[in-house]
Amino acid sequence: MNKYLSMAGAASRREADRLIVEGKVKVNGLVVTELGTKIDEETDRVAVGGRPVSREKLGVTVLLHKPKGFLTTVKDPLGRRTVMDLLPRLKTRVFPVGRLDADSTGVLLLTNDGELAFRLTHPRYEVKKRYVARVDDVPTDESLAKLRKGVFLEGRRTAPARADVLWKAEGRSILALEIHEGRKREVRKMIEAVGHRVRELKRTHFAGLTAKGLKSGDWRFLTDGETARLRKVTGLEVQESRPKKNDASRKKRN
C-alpha cells in the first residue's frame, strides 16, 4: 500500500505509513490500518482523506534551477513561497525529490514517480550529490580529513564525503563537498561541525545532472536518456513512457 501511494504521488512511503496507521486510507470504502496491506492496482479503489487516489502515468521528471528563498515542499501552511510556484503551468502533478533548504540554490529534481524519488534519496543506493559552498576561513587538512571520514551530527556519524578546497583567500574559501546522504541541512551542518560558517550553498550536481543552460528559476523536462540513466543508477527498469521529445528541451520561466 505505501508503495502504491508513493507511486501515485499521494505521499512519501514514510508519510503513507503514517496515514495508514491513522486510519486515513480506505480501500473499496473500508478503512485500512495494517501496514504492508496488499492491493490490486487494477480493481481496488483507494482513497486518502476521502479523496480518490489513482496511479498516474509515470516518467515525468523535471529539473529545476532552484533560486534562493523558495521552500522545497509542495505546500507551506504559512503561505510562504515554495518551488511549486516556479512551475505554474506544469499540468502533471510532481513533488520534490529530497531536500534543498530555502537559503540554498541549484539542482532540484521533481517527479511523479514515487519509487524513483525514494531510490534517489535513500542512502542505500548511494546517489551522489555535489555541493559548492562559500565559507568563512580556509579549511585545514585536518578539517577536510574529518569531512572525508564523516562527522558526528545529532549522535550519528555522516557517511564519508569527498571534500576539496576549490579556491581560497585570506579569511574565506570555496569548498566542494560530494555526499550520497540527504539529512536535513546536512551539508551546512557538516561544514559548520568542522568550524566554518557557510555563506552560500549551491547544489551543482544530482546523480550527474546539472542546471547548465538554465537560468535561476527556470526548469525543463529530463530527456529520455537522462531519465533512463536515473533509473539505471537506482536499479529500476527503463520504462517506455516518457515526456515527448519536444517537451524535453522546452524551458519554462515563472
Which residues are catalytic, by number?
A: 101
- Residue 135: which of 39, 83, 202 has the closest Cα? 202
Count how many residues are written for the chain. Answer: 254
Residue type, 47: A
Helix axes 224-233, 114-121, angle to 10 degrees: 60
End-to-end CA distance of the chain: 36
Report the distance separating Cα 90 and Cα 111, nearest Å: 11
Long-range CB contacts (within 8 A, 24+) of 143-148: 143/194, 143/195, 143/196, 146/193, 146/194, 147/177, 147/190, 147/191, 147/194
- For 61, the grid coordinates are 521528471
Residue with the three cell numbers 551546512: 188
